[in-house]
Amino acid sequence: MATAHRPKDRRANNLLRALRPADLALLEPHLVEQTLPSGTVLYEPGDNVQKVYFPCDSTLLSFRIQLDDGRAVETALVGREGAVAGIVSQGHLPAYSRAEVQFGGPILWMNIEDLEEAKMKSPVLHHFFARYADCLMAQVFQSVACNAAHSIEQRAAKWLISAMERTNDTSLPMTQEQLAGMLGVGRSYVSRVIQTLKHRGMIETQRGRLTVSNPAGLGHLACSCQMAVRRHFDEVLRGVYPDDPIVDSNRRTHANGTG
């Protein structure tokens, strides 16, 4: 069972890394390190949320809405750039969505009461988490627009790029069925998209894993929604959002005088 202790490396979560030392010191005694497997449900709709979770390294958490037909559609993806639950609200409020671990790995968590006490001691900390909540809401807004306006192929490419940025890895531990669930579409639709992307040399698939072999090409295919969210993060909380592997790759290419 995990016990509370000072985290070994706060740089594993960009949101914590961005805090001033004095503000981080208010949180560190209450942070608990734990490793959670994929599929772990953090809370369900209606639950009283009692903890705030900070994904670390390549861990991904997702908010999902359960529909009447049984599907659970993703509305937001959170990695090392952010946190889940209890960021702004005070007291125990019922959750509206399900929160679960999409890609398993290390997290840091703390009780919401301890976070609220820290925010009362530091107005800077209070405003910092309020700004992050604004960024998370921007991602939800953009997701609604994306689902309404863009093709399944564009949305699939956007999701894969988003996961790559947050994990810093081109090899993603997921199945076509999982991707279909994230996008809220039938598996047959996603299968056709996957086959098209494979034919165009953008991705490769193995059992339980999907590897992006052409990130730049996939980035050009994706809609601009991910970039819009990234720009908002940079304006509101500069330095928190993970580096863009496609942009960084292009920079290295030009720096070497090739391409």
pLDDT tens for each residue of 89-143: 665 678 889 999 999 999 999 999 999 999 999 999 999 999 999 999 999 999 9
Query: What's the pLDDT at 11?
Result: 59
Query: What's the pLDDT at 87?
Result: 73
Render pLDDT for 194-213 as a digit per residue (tens, 0 to 9): 999 999 999 999 988 999 99
Render pLDDT for 232-256 as a digit per residue (tens, 0 to 9): 999 999 888 886 554 444 433 333 3
Q: Which of 42, 154, 139 is nearest to 98 (CA)?
A: 42
Spell out the domains of the chain, with CATH numbers in brackets.
23-146 (2.60.120.10), 151-255 (1.10.10.10)
- In the block, tokens 């991705």 appear at 203
> Cα–Cα distances in Å, from 58 out to 28, 34, 167, 176?
21, 14, 4, 20
Indicate if the pLDDT at residue 65 is higher than 90: no
Render pLDDT for 78-100 as a digit per residue (tens, 0 to 9): 999 999 987 766 656 788 899 99
Query: What's the pLDDT at 66?
Result: 83
End-to-end CA distance of the chain: 51
The answer to whether the beta carbons of residues 161 and 222 sit under 8 Å apart is yes
Query: What's the pLDDT at 72?
Result: 78
Query: What's the pLDDT at 88?
Result: 64
pTM of the model: 0.86
